[in-house]
Amino acid sequence: MSEHTLLRARDLTARYGAVQVLHGVSVDVGEGEMVALLGANGAGKTTLLRAVSRGVATTGTVAFDGRDITRLDAIGAARARIGHVPQGRGTFAELSVEENLRLGLMGRPASLRADSDRDLERVHTMFPVLRDMRNRPAGALSGGQQQMLALGRALLARPRLLLVDEPSLGLAPRTTAELFEALAGIRAAWSTAVLLAEQNARLSLRAADRVIVLARGRVVRSCAAADLADEAELRAAYLGTVADQQEADR
């Protein structure tokens, strides 16, 4: 992990109605670090990202760059420079590609607005299709192109931490590989840490520094991504070993 801890979440619990989804989850993300969240469907990955971006009510604490943001709402978290690309992308279908990107520019800190045109050019360089299709409605884009648009719009707000939820969902393997190449370059090019929830474990481990495995709303493994390179160990970590599940149920 980076020497500077950017995100420090402790003992997070979250529920939807009577159903508790997170059970005392603690997560750290260092400055400029990429952390992958792995786990089966229903493990709590999406809810954890929403908890960090303050999109769901929680107990526990969330600190960002040393500041307690537990009481902030989602707008406050965005202003604190936490970006969130939700599952399903969340682009505005009726607006053009360019208009979607410029919405991202509106959310950036005032001190960085002078660099808006330069950063828009950087997004066009990273995803050339967004320049080529800038006047088309976002709803006319393919799934992969919409994911690129969602990432580009989030980056233009200049987050220090980018939360990305299932970017490969429904995409072809080649498009998925291109997106992961972009994610790997984002933290260096944009000075952005990334917390990534993703079902594609192998691609996640290639891109990430560390991995956190969730099972039934609890952390069952946290280690360097390289430590899960072995296929058998990856399968055990991704699905949870018997011992992990027993520990998670306590």
Residue-wise pLDDT tens digits, 113-160: 888 999 999 999 999 999 999 999 999 999 889 999 999 999 999 999
Alpha carbon 86 to its chain centroid, in Å, reads: 8
The number of distinct structural domains making up the chain is 1
Do 161 and 120 meet the contact criterion of CB atoms below 8 Å apart? Answer: no
212: domain CATH number is: 3.40.50.300
State what percent of residues in the chain have pLDDT above 70: 90
Cα separations in angstroms, 245 against 30, 76, 235: 27, 36, 14
Burial 11-42 (b: 16+ CB within 10 A, else e): ebbbbeeeeebbbebebbbbbbbbbbbbbeee
**Residue ranges making up the domain that contains 46:** 5-248
pLDDT digits (tens, 9 = 90+) for 86-108: 987 678 889 999 999 999 999 88
Residue 33's pLDDT is 95
8 Å CB contact between 141 and 101: no
Q: How many CB atoms lie within 10 A of CB 67?
A: 10
- Can you give the pTM of this predicted structure? 0.89
The H or E element that residue 96 is part of is none
180: helix, strand or coil: helix
